[in-house]
Amino acid sequence: ACGDDKGSDSGSGSGSSSAGKVGVILPDTKSSQRWGTDDPKFLKAAFEAAGVQVDIQNAQGDKTAFQTIADGMISSGVKVLMIVNLDSGTGKAVLEKAKKAGIATIDYDRLTLSGGADYYVSFDNVKVGELQGQGLVDCLTAKKYTKPVVAELNGSPTDNNATLFAQGYNSVLDPKYADGTFTKGPNQDVPDWDNAQAGTIFEQMLTSNKNIKGVLAANDGLGNAAISVLKKNKLNGQVPVTGQDATVQGLQNILAGDQCMTVYKAIKKEADAASELAIALAKGEKPTTATGTTKDPESGASVPSVLLTPVSITKESVKDVIADGFVTKDAVCTADFAKACTEAGIS
């Protein structure tokens, strides 16, 4: 058999003797591009810096694969298992199996209901929704539309976060519908956060409801799908669209004036916080950073947590995301966007 550092994602500093290995399972690459690009990058960097070996894998939306990866990590002897669940059920099964093998567990970004993970690191997801709702309200108010019709493109019905996001933005929008400032328009879930399906779903919403004046899209991918349809009907810019994740595409859409806002979740901070916990656990230390608690709504248990705050991003604040190092100026300010970048104060 080969050396321990076989996996491509394993840390370089296998020199550190005391620390055990850490396993990380990410959910997919479809719900958001972050899982394929940002999270692995930041997590890997953090673990490498600490000289802790890490094995990061992505289940690609397949819960059977999710469990198989977990089995493999457990049998290869990880000390800490960190997961972003695909759903609470499989998440729980994996967490329980890990616990039986005496492995410390962390819920990353998504809370596994009744999962009983040792720690939870995330953003306040209801807050994310609230920011999206508020962002849309601001943009629509600025446009001075009267009783604008708002369409909602929700995330995947199977993602607990999507439920939380909806809870957040509906808490902002429902009163507006109730008092007649806004008109409630069509509202649909997008299976698996699938962008192509989102395009058709939105096109049909628009066809049957021509005076849609605002779109609450649950993330940047869905937002971009809606924007493509609006562009086709030459309505882009006039109908505000929301987003989430501060992707390059989303930020560019904002700069172009096609998207109203996105929610920036400082993924690097989230990754750093999570890896800090994991590194401590891997070294057999008791972490001290998880100062907050989150109440599991299902089991009622209090999970020690690190909860970060999401930030709303509009044209003016795109530069903040760049300044934070989450995306580079080069990536966002390509030739097409040079002018918009200057206008938005990105230097």
Nearer to another protein, 130 or 189 (CB): 189
The C-alpha atoms of residue 30 and residue 18 are separated, in whole angstroms, by: 37
For strands 262-264 and 311-313, give the pairing. Answer: antiparallel
Please, which residues have CB within 8 angstroms of residue 216's CB and are 6 or more apart in sequence? 132, 133, 136, 150, 151, 152, 153, 169, 173, 242
For strands 302-308 and 119-123, give the pairing. Answer: parallel
Q: Which of 38, 245, 258, 272 binds ligand XYP (CB under 6 A)?
A: 245
Q: Which of residues 66-85 bind ligand XYP (CB under 6 A)?
A: none
Task: Find the helix packing angle between 220-232 and 248-255, rounded to 10°.
Answer: 40
Query: Pattern 284-323, binding to ligand XYP, x per CB under 6 A?
Result: ----------------------------------------
Q: Which of 10, 31, 132, 170 binds ligand XYP (CB under 6 A)?
A: 31
Q: Which of residues 141-160 bind ligand XYP (CB under 6 A)?
A: 155, 159
Give the nearest distance from C-beta 97 to another protein in angstroms.
Answer: 8
> Does residue 130 touch ligand XYP according to CB under 6 A?
no
Residue 88 partner contact from ligand XYP, another protein, none using kind-dependent CB cut-offs of 5 to 8 Å: another protein
Nearer to another protein, 62 or 320 (CB): 62
For residue 250, how far is the Cα from the chain centroid? Answer: 13
Q: Which of residues 95-114 bind ligand XYP (CB under 6 A)?
A: 109-110
What single letter denotes the amino acid at residue 163?
Answer: T
Taking the CB of residue 209, how many other CB atoms lie within 10 A of it?
A: 13
| Sites of contact with ligand XYP (CB under 6 A) | 31-32, 34, 109-110, 155, 159, 161, 193, 219, 244-245
